[in-house]
Structure 1
Amino acid sequence: MTDVEPEELPRGIALAWGVAANPQRGPKREMSVERIVDAAVELADAEGIGAVSMAAVAAKLGFTPMSLYRYVSAKDDLLLLMEEQAIGLPPQELREYDGWRARLRAQFEAEVLIYLRHPWILSLPITGSPITPNSSAWLDCALDALGETPLTATERLAVSLAVTGQARWYGTVLAGYTEQARTSGLSPQEITVREAALFDRVITAAEFPALRAAIEAGVFLAEDDPFRFSVERYLEGVEVYIAGLDRGHAHADAATWLQDDSAAVAGDKRVRAAVKSVREAEKALRAARKEERQARRDAAAREEARAGR
């Protein structure tokens, strides 16, 4: 038993779970949290998250900004509710695939599609573990897919988070190309060709040998999807690990969280001086490489001029 009172749910989370008190009075009966969130999501889908403000949402609904605050008292709460609505619940068919690997693959693809339909979600900060109903349902779906495996609860969470993280990164890249296509008028394929040409122009074998070899191999123009390839290899590795557990192998040792230097170490006078020296050395190296590239271009131009005589 404990005498500590349970912490009250933040307003936004309480609204998401439907346990927040409704306003006793409002400007008109047709106003509701649901209508406010619907309007905000429509704005974000059409114009991006930067277009969403309490004033803009109120104008879209035909109300004053102050009237919205009776229902959603802070913009952060509105953003949380927008994300909750946009991600929705996991499709029921995700639980109908045969085997954990097929289920996680399907969930990965379903999450990527959410980011393509609502790319503004990717602009919202990650402030902690999923606590809202829909985000909890997606995590539950992934954990359930692994429920019959010999993985520990911690390992199941780790695999679920890895798949979700890969989906978010994939969505970030695709959304970036989509936005660039929208603003430039180019197709994603044309953008890829343009970027490949830029890589080919500035990446040299002398400075970036491995990257130059990749360019020569045509990796930036290939139609292969590197993200789906990588998630398949990840799931393949998990499958091998599970097979080992089935044969009696021990579980892997627990991994520790990565951490940067503590404030005391980072603030140490000698450490700060050393970091400054490294930055200055890197700056000098960048300048030297820039000078080298220019010298090579000049030499190549002179050679071309002599050859043309």
Structure 2
Amino acid sequence: MPDNGHLDDEVLKSLPNGVALSWGLGKKSTRGPKGELSIPKIVDAAIRIADEEGLAAVSMNRVASSLGFTTMSLYRYVNSKDDLILLMQNAVCYAPIPPEQPDWREEMRSYVRVCIQVFRDHPWFGDVPITSVPLTPGNLRIVDWGLRSMRDFPLTDYEKMSIVLLLSGYSRSCGMIMRDMDKAIQAGARPETIKGMDYSAALKRLVKRDEYPHFYPVLISGAYTEDNPEDNGVIDDFDFGLERILDGIQVYLDRKGVKA
């Protein structure tokens, strides 16, 4: 967590309290035995609870109890549960960033894969509502990485940020779908059930060509429930979608005469 305690109070007033804490701003508690409790320890404990039991299990009381402190002890460091959740989000964004790749497409692939993995490693992450643009250092670290692949592109800053938003949105969508699949598997579901293969035969009897003229041939081919792997492409659905996004970015660059 950055140490920006030297900044003046006017800067603090412009930021939500949780965001200020994420940047190392704000008053540090001087009460209680030194070193026994800290914001990083509180955040780590909250993340452990959320990872194991979900976001709903996180409360100031629960986190304090897990650390062996009273709830009031936590409030000396973090003002509210909302601030704590924001700090949790910030912390898990410090995922390892791979070394820079010479190919911008591979850079963007790595970006999407790491972002997706955050949702899978921390299933609660996607349950936190988006209420503003990223403001915390961890989140902005990821934005900075997203921009890295376009460092030498002669695009406007608006265009670059729009591409980062496109990749981030796809990462979020795929990450939450994969997270839900992971949960289903952990709860005992079979992969064949999730993919619909267990219901393929029944669907083929229920779905009629005249009622679903465009879906019917896709279902019969086995593509919908993936029960005909020979017709499944070289890459899976998520990679297929990502490659089409990258193709679209390439077309946009070509139209602007950008050599990438």
Moved over 6 A (4+): none
User: Map of 1:137-148 to 2, 5 A cutoff?
Assistant: 137-148=141-152
Q: Quick check: 110-119 or 84-93, which moved more?
A: 84-93
Match of 2:97 in 1: 91
Q: Percent identity?
A: 37
Higher relative contact order (CA 8 A, sep 6+): 2
* Contact map agreement 2:111 2:146 (CA 8 A) in 1: yes
Partner Cα distance (2:104, 2:162) in 1: 14
TM-score by length of 1: 0.72
Task: Tell me how far 1:8 sits from its aligned partner.
Answer: 2.8
- Structure 1: segments with no counterpart, 5+ residues: 249-309
Paired with 1:160 and 1:104, the residues of 2 have a C-alpha distance of 9
Shift in Å, 1:64 = 1.5
Mapped pair 1:48 → 2:54? yes
Classify 1:202/1:12 alpha carbon distance in 2 versus 1 (closer, same or farther; 3 Å): farther
Matched-pair contact (CA < 8 Å) for 1:112–1:167: yes
The structural deviation recorded for 1:182 is 2.1
CA deviation after TM superposition for structure 1 residue 98, in Å: 1.1
Equivalent position of 2:189 in the other structure: 186
Q: Provide the C-alpha distance between the structure 1 equivalents of 2:199 and 2:175, rounded to a whole number of angstroms.
A: 19
Listed as ranges, the matches of 1:28-107 within 5 Å are 29-93=35-99, 96-107=100-111
What do you get for the CA RMSD once the two structures are aligned? 2.2
Q: Which has the larger radius of gyration?
A: 1
Task: Please point out which of 9, 26, 29 is paired with 2:32.
Answer: 26
Q: Deviations over 1:233-280 (max 9, x none)?
A: 1111211221222279xxxxxxxxxxxxxxxxxxxxxxxxxxxxxxxx
User: Aligned match of 1:229 in 235, 240, 243?
Assistant: 240
Cα distance in 2 between the residues matched to 1:226 and 1:146: 25
Q: How does 1:283-298 map to 2 (within 5 A)?
A: none
TM-score by length of 2: 0.85
- C-alpha change, 1:58 and 1:143, in structure 2 (3 Å) is same
Counterpart check, 1:239 vs 2:247: no
Matched, 1:172 2:183: no
Q: Is 1:205 matched with 2:209?
A: yes
Give 1:212 shift: 2.3
Query: 2:189, 2:258 → 1: CA distance?
Result: 53
CA distance in 2, matches of 1:195, 1:59: 46
